[in-house]
Amino acid sequence: MHTDSFLSMGPHEFHRVVYSEWGDAGIGRTAVCVHGLTRNGRDFDFLAAELALTHRVICPDMPGRGRSEWLPVKQDYTYPLYCADMSALLARLGAEDVDWVGTSMGGIIGMLLAAQPGSPIRRLVLNDIGPFIPQAAVERIRSYVGENQRFRERADAEAFLRQVYEPFGPLTDGQWSHIMTHSIRETTEDDFAFNYDPGIGVPLSAGPAEDVDLWGAWDRIRCPVLVLRGERSDVLLTETVEQMKHRGPDMEFVEFPRIGHAPTLMAAEQIQAIADFLQTNV
């Protein structure tokens, strides 16, 4: 793995987006893996190590997360900016087409890009996300995103994250350690905070919480789609999955027991499901 970056233009400024790259650029296929709302590209280290056998794998930190720059105008943390950033990344990669793996927010970005005419997305993996998110799930996410929480001790930050990320399901100590390493930063005040800009919650909290409806985008997607779901997910409902099966693109579906929102893509069975899907009809 090595790290690289590029400049992208938003409504108010250029900002630097950092990404991890795995595998050989000449291997033939390219996979782009995009994380969830408060997460970062290092979530995909376990998956990327496996996919790098067949793909060049690119795992960006979206603006305001991980190693990427924070936006000075917090209202700019929106999907038009995220899609523009990822379009700039795709242009930089120079690949004729790509496979896309998106967890939650990263899956929404993937859906929006795949729905566009001439999209370079060859195969799309949606990790615990679909074209409909119920209001109750939006309210739950809003309840903790954007809080500028600080902790005097790192152990306190880790304990809080274990509570918030309990829906991730059973994880090994090594997997939890990896998540914590890339989720917490030490501040200049010698305390600890989460590794993202609290300002990402500003657009999310503007106005009342409502259902998210992206069925129009789903119906325009033409590439094959693999949908992954945590059995206890409140973001991707079973009734949404049933609707997805009967409209829109060709779709495969895998559900993982004892997991909520969202599967971490660290377990062998989760990684294998994605690898098998991306290797089909290569």
pLDDT in the model for residue 109: 98
Residue 254, pLDDT above cutoff 90 = yes
- The rounded percent of the chain whose pLDDT value lies above 90 is 90
pLDDT in the model for residue 281: 63
pLDDT in the model for residue 146: 74
pLDDT in the model for residue 40: 98
Between residues 181 and 144, the one the model is more confident about: 181
pLDDT in the model for residue 145: 87
Please count the residues of the chain: 282
Mark 217-234 as b/e (b = at least 16 C-beta within 10 Å). Answer: bbebbebbbbbbbbeebb
pTM attached to this predicted model = 0.96
pLDDT in the model for residue 7: 97
Pairwise CA distance, residues 4 & 17, whole Å: 9
* Domain carrying residue 267: 2-279
The tens digit of pLDDT for each residue in 117-139 reads: 999 999 999 999 999 999 999 99
pLDDT in the model for residue 143: 86
Distant-in-sequence, close-in-space partners of 94: CB < 8 Å, separation ≥ 6: none
Q: Indicate the number of domains in the chain.
A: 1
The tens digit of pLDDT for each residue in 160-211 reads: 999 989 999 999 999 999 999 999 999 988 899 999 999 999 999 888 889 9
Pair type for strands 251-256 and 121-127: unpaired
Q: Which of 51-65, 151-165, 223-237, 239-253 has the lowest mean pLDDT?
A: 151-165
- The rounded percent of the chain whose pLDDT value lies above 70 is 99
pLDDT in the model for residue 37: 97
Instruction: Summarize the confidence of residues 109-115 as an average pLDDT.
Output: 98
Instruction: Summarize the confidence of residues 36-46 as an average pLDDT.
Output: 98
Distant-in-sequence, close-in-space partners of 263: CB < 8 Å, separation ≥ 6: 103, 127, 128, 168, 169, 228, 229, 230, 256, 270
Pairwise CA distance, residues 112 & 118, whole Å: 12
Find the CATH number of the domain harbouring 48: 3.40.50.1820
